[in-house]
Amino acid sequence: MIGKLLGNRYQILEQLGGGGMAIVYKGRDNILNRLVTIKLLRSEYTSDEDFVRRFRREAQSVASLSHPNIVSIYDVGRENDMHYLVMEYVEGEDLRSIIKREGPLDPERAVRIARQVCDALDHAHENNIVHRDVKPHNILITRTGRAKLTDFGIAREASAATVTTTDTIIGSVHYLSPEQARGELAGPKSDIYSLGVVLYEMLAGSVPFTGDSPISIAIKHIQNSPEPLARRRPGIPPELELVVMRALQKDPDGRFDSAREMSYQLEEAMAGDDDDTTRIIAVNMEERQALKAAEQYTRIGRRPSRRLSPAGWAVIAVVLALVMGGAVYGFNLFVNVEEVKVPGVVGKTAREAQDILAEKGLRSRIVEQYHQSVPKGIVFEQDYGPEDPPVKVNRLITLKVSLGADIRTVPNLVKLSLTDARAKIAEAGFDLEEPPQEVTSNEIEKGCVVSQKPAAYEKAPKGSKVTLTVSKGPEQADKKVPDLRGLTTDQAGAKLRELKLELDGNIIYQTSTKYLKGQIVSQFPEPNEMVTEGKAVRVTVSQGPGPPVREAAVIIEIPNDGRSHVARIQVTDVRGANDVYVRNHNAGDKVKETVSYYGTAVIRVFIDDKKVTERTVD
């Protein structure tokens, strides 16, 4: 496959890997001159028309997604019996390789990756697309640390083989939600569960459930609770563990309502400067210490030789009372935090919006993005607003603030071919107004750009339309078709070229007794018709036998005026007009000459270039 060209556009450069359903290649888009990833469906799936149809439909729907944390799908195509996807090429490696090489990740790094995946899933879920196969293998990490989710929709096509023994499914079953393991329909909360497993693995260095077979692992997803993270990796922030465990709830209703909510809770869990969070973490740590003390006490109680004294019992009682009192106090602090309605700040400046939220006791985060219609510095979206339920004070609200329109420079397209112009327009971030206009041009080659709007080097918003005017060649003048009858095809071709006309290569041959073999018998268009330049004239050529040859006697009397004269005989027949006799004679000479002709002819006699006789002979 290396070097093969797909769709007359995508060239395969090297193989990157392969899965259960597809082989992945690195390729190049020869039109836009950029690297791409090409996923080629394995041959065993191409014969299943229903599978291919669903595969293409799913891929086309995912292609509508546009998010910095989702690998973009550029194209879906077919080359003979090969079905393929063309996707964004990502320089980096998958999360599975990173975990395998580095082991447990730092909590801050793990949360940063998980929140980016949350953002990707939230965008997909808002567009009614469920991933169904979230796992480290499908999370790519770029060299700058950006997480990109890939392979949308593929798991849905493979749902019938969820617990088979293929390598791909063995990898996937570790991340299956309980409802998927039961064979039920996967939904957005199934993706949240799978992401919870991924986050667990990033923090612990291993997945929560393992087994001897995919079936045994699937049963554990349905029946077993995962081992607490703190046992596998002591020192994990308790609040972070609570987020992971909530995502791993067996009942979907017990999980987060959305990937966006999970992202907020992850951020809150890592907000070390939040007083309430600090108190709650302290309470949880006290609870853990109490549990540890209770476990130790139970173990001690089993040893008759290590019984506590009454004073020891008194100390434990006091410690437990303090711990329980602190826990109740911390719980009341959390539950009784004031709730406020989030005000709407869309349309405000960033500073105004932050001040309004601060007055309500809410924190804010600014995310700047280009927007084609909202002025720079104005809020055009908030992730939580007045239509949502009240929230506790100190809640973080994300505000999207406009950077203004993404203004680009229009490239110079004049004299470029239409294909090259299309590529440059797309590369610059603009769209071509279809179809391009056409005009005649004596200066610009046919098929090349004559003019453009906006003009070259003007500034215009990204995504705006560029209108092109394309040459359809020089202006074509009207020409009168010459009479080609009696000419050979070589003679006719030369005569037509002088008039910028053409001789049609499809020549018809027929027998003729009027024209000699090789002479043109008839033509279309007819002689003297008006046509445009470049028009081809179709002719019919004689195959013979042609008219019979005949003879005629011609008598010339030279004037008796004392001077010499030139006598000339001209014969016009199917061969055209030809001088058959030219000679100088003395005054008073009498000339008798026999001439040959074909068919009907006109015989003319000239003396000193003055016609003296003319007759038609058969």
Q: What is the pLDDT of residue 190?
A: 94
10 Å CB burial of residue 359 (0-12, 13-18, 19+) is exposed
Kindly state whether residues 539 and 608 are assigned to the same domain.
no
d(CA 579, CA 577): 7
Which of residues 57 and 422 earns the better pLDDT score?
A: 422
Q: DSSP secondary structure string, 250-262?
A: SSGGGS-SSHHHH
Q: What is the pLDDT of residue 83?
A: 87
Q: How confident is the model at residue 22 (pLDDT cuts 50, 70, 90)?
A: confident
Q: DSSP secondary structure string, 475-511?
A: PPPEEEPPP-TT--HHHHHHHHHHTT-EE-S--EEEE
How many structural domains does the chain have? 6
Give me the percent of the chain exceeding a pLDDT of 70: 85
Q: How confident is the model at residue 301 (pLDDT cuts 50, 70, 90)?
A: very low
Kindly state whether residues 345 and 448 are assigned to the same domain.
no
For residue 264, is it within any domain?
no
Out of 19-23, 63-67, 199-203, least confident range: 19-23
Kindly state whether residues 451 and 502 are assigned to the same domain.
no
Q: What is the pLDDT of residue 608?
A: 94
Helix, coil or strand: residue 584: strand
What CATH number should be reported for the domain holding residue 343?
3.30.10.20
For residue 323, is it within any domain?
yes
Cis peptide before 454 (omega within 30 of 0): yes
Q: What is the pLDDT of residue 351?
A: 93
Helix, coil or strand: residue 16: strand
For residue 19, is it within any domain?
yes
> If you search the block for the tokens 């209770």, which residue do you land on?
294
Q: What is the dihedral of CA 150, 153, 155, 159, to 10 degrees?
A: 180
Out of 67-81, 326-340, 502-516, least confident range: 326-340
d(CA 87, CA 471): 35
d(CA 599, CA 574): 7
Out of 4-8, 313-317, 350-354, 461-465, least confident range: 313-317
Q: What is the pLDDT of residue 19?
A: 67
Listed residues 471, 491, 517: the one ending a domain: 471
Kindly state whether residues 395 and 421 are assigned to the same domain.
no
Helix, coil or strand: residue 52: helix
Structure confidence by residue, pLDDT tens digits, 567-605 = 999 999 988 899 999 999 999 999 999 999 998 999 999
Kindly state whether residues 311 and 441 are assigned to the same domain.
no
d(CA 276, CA 469): 65
Kindly state whether residues 136 and 20 are assigned to the same domain.
yes
Task: Write out the H or E segment, with its range, that includes residue 334.
Answer: helix 310-335
Q: What is the mean pLDDT of the segment spanning 420-443?
A: 90
Kindly state whether residues 540 and 555 are assigned to the same domain.
no
For residue 257, what are its two tokens?
A: 């309502």
Kindly state whether residues 310 and 394 are assigned to the same domain.
no
d(CA 121, CA 279): 32
For residue 251, is it within any domain?
no
Kindly state whether residues 364 and 493 are assigned to the same domain.
no
Q: What is the mean pLDDT of the segment spanning 417-440?
A: 90
Q: What is the pLDDT of residue 205?
A: 93
- What phi, psi does 583 have (nearest 5°)? -155, 150
Kindly state whether residues 317 and 448 are assigned to the same domain.
no
For residue 415, is it within any domain?
yes
For residue 129, what are its two tokens?
A: 């697309």
Q: What is the pLDDT of residue 438?
A: 92
Find the catalytic residue in 119, 133, 191, 573.
133
- How many CB atoms are closer than 10 A to CB 562? 8
Which of residues 335 and 270 earns the better pLDDT score?
A: 270
Q: Which residue range is the domain that position 346 belongs to?
A: 339-402
Q: Is the pLDDT of residue 370 over 70?
A: yes
d(CA 359, CA 393): 10
| 273 is annotated as an active-site residue | no
Task: Write out the H or E segment, with its range, that includes residue 139.
Answer: strand 139-142
Q: What is the mean pLDDT of the segment spanning 294-302?
A: 38
Task: Write out the H or E segment, with its range, that includes residue 191.
Answer: helix 188-204
Listed residues 491, 519, 545: the one ending a domain: 545
For residue 253, is it within any domain?
no
d(CA 252, CA 183): 15
Kindly state whether residues 422 and 310 are assigned to the same domain.
no
For residue 270, is it within any domain?
no
Kindly state whether residues 106 and 184 are assigned to the same domain.
yes
For residue 382, is it within any domain?
yes
Q: What is the pLDDT of residue 58?
A: 65
Q: What is the pLDDT of residue 334?
A: 42
Sign of CA dihedral 265, 269, 272, 276: positive
What CATH number should be reported for the domain holding residue 582?
2.60.40.2560
